[in-house]
């Protein structure tokens, strides 16, 4: 639907606590950046805790099309690059039970 009775939109990013990342929460219509911040504050910081807001013109955002989503798909098993892909504790325990290891100190434990 084409309409030029509306101002442009601004994407709103909200920061809950100093040091946290800014998180996208929605968008507002506004004639300029300053108004966008004011409206964003009214819309998104009424009661949720907020220490800072960013607004970005929606037209500045470039997105990947969803029909390209398969490029994010791992074609192969990628467990080799995840910490959970390695069961090291289990391997050490198993090796100790089979006496394949000879701990140098008695107090060597978990």
Partner 1 sequence: MTLMNPLVRPVITDDDGRSEDEKLVTFEARVAAGEKIEPTDWMPDRYRQQLIRMVQNHGNSEIVGALPEREWIPHAPTFKRKLALTAKVQDEVGHAQLLYRVVETLGKPREVIIEELLNGTAKYSNVFNYPPETWADVGIIAWLIDAAAIIRQMLLREGSYGPYSRALKRICYEESFHLKHGHDICVTLATGTQFQRDMLQDALNRWWNPIVGFFGPPDRASVHTDELMRWRVKLKTNDAIRQQFFDQYVPRIWELGLSIPDPELRKDDESGRWLYTEPDWEEFKRVIKGHGPCNAERIAVRRLAHEEGEWVRRALAAAANDQAVPVQ
Kindly state the smallest distance separating residue 98's Cβ from partner 1, in Å: 8
> What's the rounded Cα separation, in Å, for the pair 25 and 49?
13
Kindly state the smallest distance separating residue 53's Cβ from partner 1, in Å: 11
Kindly state the smallest distance separating residue 85's Cβ from partner 1, in Å: 7
CB-nearer residue toward partner 1: 26 or 86: 86
Residues whose CB falls within 8 Å of the CB of residue 39, separated by 6 or more in sequence, listed in order? 28, 29, 30
> What's the rounded Cα separation, in Å, for the pair 39 and 66?
30
Among 55, 30, 32, CA closest to 45: 55
Kindly state the smallest distance separating residue 37's Cβ from partner 1, in Å: 7
CB-nearer residue toward partner 1: 70 or 82: 82
At residue 83, what are phi and psi to the nearest 5 degrees? -60, -35
CB-nearer residue toward partner 1: 70 or 102: 102
CB-nearer residue toward partner 1: 25 or 41: 41
**Where do contacts with partner 1 occur on this chain (CB under 8 A)?**
18-19, 21, 33-34, 37-38, 54, 58-63, 65, 80-83, 85-86, 88, 91-92, 95-96, 100-105, 107-109
- The answer to whether 27 and 14 have CB atoms below 8 angstroms apart is no
């Amino acid at each position: 639907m084409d309409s030029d009775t509306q101002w442009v939109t601004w994407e709103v990013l909200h920061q809950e606590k100093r040091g946290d990342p800014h998180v996208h929460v929605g968008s507002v219509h506004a004639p300029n950046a300053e108004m966008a911040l004011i409206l964003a504050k009214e819309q998104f910081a009424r009661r949720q805790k907020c220490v800072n807001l960013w607004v970005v013109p929606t037209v500045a955002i470039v997105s990947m099309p969803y029909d390209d989503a398969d490029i994010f798909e791992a074609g192969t098993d990628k467990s080799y690059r995840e910490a959970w892909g390695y069961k090291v504790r289990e391997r050490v325990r198993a090796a100790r039970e089979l006496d394949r290891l000879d701990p140098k100190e008695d107090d060597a434990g978990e």
